[in-house]
Amino acid sequence: MALKDIKARIDSTKKTMQITKAMEMVSAAKLNRAEQNAKSFGPYVDKIQEVVGSIASGSNAKHSMLLTRPVKKTGYFVVTADRGLAGAYNSNILRHVYRTIQERHKSADEYALIVIGKVGVNFFKSRKMSILDSITGVADQPSFAEIKAIASKAVGLYADGTFDELYMYYNHFVSAIQSDLTEKKLLPLTDIAATKSKSSYEYEPSEDEILEVLLPQYAESLIYGALLDAKAAEHASRMTAMRNATDNANELIGQLNLSYNRERQAAITQEITEIVGGVAALE
């Protein structure tokens, strides 16, 4: 390679590195915020879980959201990102969901998809799988109001019998370098832990009517919680991906610098040999 070409490659790699470095830092900041959001959501979901648990365990209240019914159609709620450049974040989920659907269902009538994120929407569209509902362009720090519409729609579709169970797929944030693909059965709410409540409540007006309000609110909050979790995982995995890219760029620049210097030295040596040869010829 000519000297000039190597120089150009070094420059362009340096510029790419600047970008990946900036993206890494941005994602790190967003990850911090996302973790905080997840933390401030904690008290809400803990409390609601406690109350739901104490009602569900302390009574024989039967609500359609608590009962398992024969499954004719399954709903899948898939959380992906709007953009790529996040390592295996999107592909992990999408591959898993796709495989699961292929395994479990023979025809397209047996399942329904609800998708968050552009990457997921494009993935299913290109495979000609119909999407029941989707949202894209969710903010990096989503507020509950943003998610409310799709969450209550998902819960509503279960209530009106469009599907008989609802699974949710998202990446669970473990640490900055690890996130776990999570499959969670959202509806019916079968895994409500029978919490040992400290106090047995009076219900005003009745248990059934409280469940009517409480269970949809609970299911929606679970969806929101999963989304916050997924957002944290997204930022973490983008941060890691960008750090790897920066490291790779650094390594590449090192190699290119080496070959640049070698090439330059070779050129100098050759020039000297030529001069020496020329002088020797004159003598």
CA 170 to chain centroid: 6
The smaller minimum CB distance to another protein, of residues 43 and 70, is found at 43
User: Closest approach of Cβ 71 to another protein, in Å?
Assistant: 25
Task: Kindly state whether residue 41 participates in binding another protein, applying the rule CB under 8 A.
Answer: yes
In angstroms, how far apart are the furthest CA atoms of the chain?
116
Give the number of residues in contact with another protein, rule: CB under 8 A.
32
Given CA atoms 105, 108, 109, 111 in this order, what sign does their dihedral have? positive
Per CB under 8 A, which region of 114-122, 144-152, 166-174, 245-253 contacts another protein?
144-152
CA–CA separation, 211 and 208 (whole Å): 5
CA–CA separation, 105 and 108 (whole Å): 7
Per CB under 8 A, which region of 86-94, 218-226, 245-253, 262-270 contacts another protein?
218-226
The smaller minimum CB distance to another protein, of residues 209 and 251, is found at 209
Task: Kindly state whether residue 70 participates in binding another protein, applying the rule CB under 8 A.
Answer: no
In 10 A of CB 44, how many CB atoms?
13
Q: Which of 238, 245, 243 is nearest to 84 (CA)?
A: 238
The smaller minimum CB distance to another protein, of residues 128 and 198, is found at 198
Give me the phi and psi of 91, to 5 degrees please: -65, -35
CA–CA separation, 237 and 242 (whole Å): 8
Contacts of another protein in 179-208 (CB under 8 A): 198-205
Task: Kindly state whether residue 47 participates in binding another protein, applying the rule CB under 8 A.
Answer: yes
Per CB under 8 A, which region of 87-95, 110-118, 138-146, 254-262 contacts another protein?
138-146
β-pairing verdict for 178-187 and 165-175: antiparallel
Q: How far is the CA of 249 from the CAs of 26, 42, 88, 244, 245, in angstroms?
A: 18, 39, 19, 9, 6
User: Closest approach of Cβ 224 to another protein, in Å?
Assistant: 5
CA–CA separation, 154 and 139 (whole Å): 20
Task: Kindly state whether residue 60 participates in binding another protein, applying the rule CB under 8 A.
Answer: no
Residue from 102, 126, 128, 213 binding another protein (CB under 8 A): 213
β-pairing verdict for 74-79 and 165-175: parallel
Task: Kindly state whether residue 79 participates in binding another protein, applying the rule CB under 8 A.
Answer: no
User: Closest approach of Cβ 204 to another protein, in Å?
Assistant: 4
Per CB under 8 A, which region of 111-119, 167-175, 219-227, 264-272 contacts another protein?
219-227
Q: Which amino acid is at 199?
A: S
Residue from 62, 95, 125, 148 binding another protein (CB under 8 A): 148
List of residues contacting another protein (CB under 8 A): 37, 40-41, 43-45, 47-48, 51, 55, 143-145, 148, 198-205, 209-210, 212-214, 217, 220-221, 224-225
